[in-house]
């Protein structure tokens, strides 16, 4: 195995759910070089690639489909904030999530749809017909979230996209 391929493999192991652009940026390697080595690692079943909400994320083969989706979505700032609130508070109305995070309800709805499709959250109608959100697998979610620590570069990109969205230049899904 080449040194570059070994570095990529180790980066994926230590940063489960890293997306392609972050991987190439963090390792300071050319896009074509990253693609080539990731393809080779994928063919040898050393890395699993999964496209989740418009980004290709890379994982160690040990993670199952639910774990991969959880880790990939957790790397996104808004989803991470939603999950953190749900871990802290338990069941919350969707409107409360939007208010606490100072986000548009449509933005929260988009992220909740992503998390719901991934089997990470569940939505229910509350007593007054309001949509309430809970974690589908709270104990497993908490355990997995400890494994992911977004890099500074990921957080800065998230902040920039949020800034651009706030200026009215992006769509609700531009956060990701």
* pLDDT tens column, 20-77: 999 999 999 999 999 999 999 999 999 999 998 888 999 999 999 999 999 889 888 8
Place 126 in a pLDDT band, splitting at 50, 70 and 90.
confident
State residue 104 phi and psi, 5-degree precision: -65, 145
Residue 152 corresponds to which tokens in the numbers above? Answer: 């500074």
Provide the β-strand partners of residue 56: 51
Q: Which of 47, 42, 130, 140 is nearest to 93 (CA)?
A: 130
Decide: 74 and 80 in contact? Cβ < 8 Å. yes
pLDDT at residue 170, as a whole number: 42
Three-state SS at 161 = helix
Q: Is the pLDDT of residue 19 over 80?
A: yes
pLDDT at residue 169, as a whole number: 45
Q: Tokens 């990701």, residue? A: 176
- Report pLDDT digits (tens) over 146-155: 766 554 455 5
Q: What is the mean pLDDT of residues 74-86?
A: 91
* Distance between CA atoms of residues 114 and 159, nearest Å: 20
Q: What is the phi-psi region of residue 8: left when phi exceeds 0, alpha when psi lies from -120 to 50, beta otherwise?
A: alpha
For the ranges 65-74, 118-127, 166-175, the lowest mean pLDDT is seen at 166-175
HEC string for 10-67: HHHHHCCCEEHHHHHHHHCCCHHHHHHHHHHHHHCCCCEEEEECCEEEEECCCCCHHH
Q: Is the pLDDT of residue 15 over 80?
A: yes
pLDDT at residue 172, as a whole number: 42
Other C-beta atoms closer than 10 Å to the C-beta of 58 total 27
pLDDT at residue 154, as a whole number: 57
* Distance between CA atoms of residues 61 and 46, nearest Å: 6
Q: How far is CA 168 from CA 7, 104, 156, in A?
A: 39, 12, 19
Which domains does the chain show, CATH number per domain?
1-63 (1.10.10.10), 64-176 (1.10.10.10)
Residue 126 corresponds to which tokens in the numbers above? Answer: 């509350």
Q: Is the pLDDT of residue 102 over 50?
A: yes
């Amino acid at each position: 195995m080449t040194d570059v391929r070994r570095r990529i493999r180790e980066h994926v192991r230590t940063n489960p759910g890293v997306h392609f652009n972050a991987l190439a940026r963090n390792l300071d390697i050319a896009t074509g070089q990253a693609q080539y080595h990731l393809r080779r690692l994928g063919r040898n079943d050393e890395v699993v690639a999964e496209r989740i909400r418009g980004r290709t994320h890379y994982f160690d083969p040990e993670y199952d489909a639910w774990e991969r989706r959880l880790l990939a979505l957790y790397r996104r700032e808004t989803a991470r904030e939603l999950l953190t609130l749900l871990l802290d508070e338990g069941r919350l109305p969707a409107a409360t999530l939007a208010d606490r995070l100072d986000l548009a309800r449509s933005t929260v709805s988009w992220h909740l749809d992503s998390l719901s499709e991934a089997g990470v959250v569940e939505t229910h109608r509350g007593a007054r017909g309001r949509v309430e959100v809970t974690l589908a697998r709270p104990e497993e979610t908490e355990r997995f979230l400890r494994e992911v620590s977004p890099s500074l570069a990921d957080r800065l990109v998230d902040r920039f996209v949020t800034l651009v969205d706030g200026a009215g230049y992006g769509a609700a899904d531009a956060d990701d």
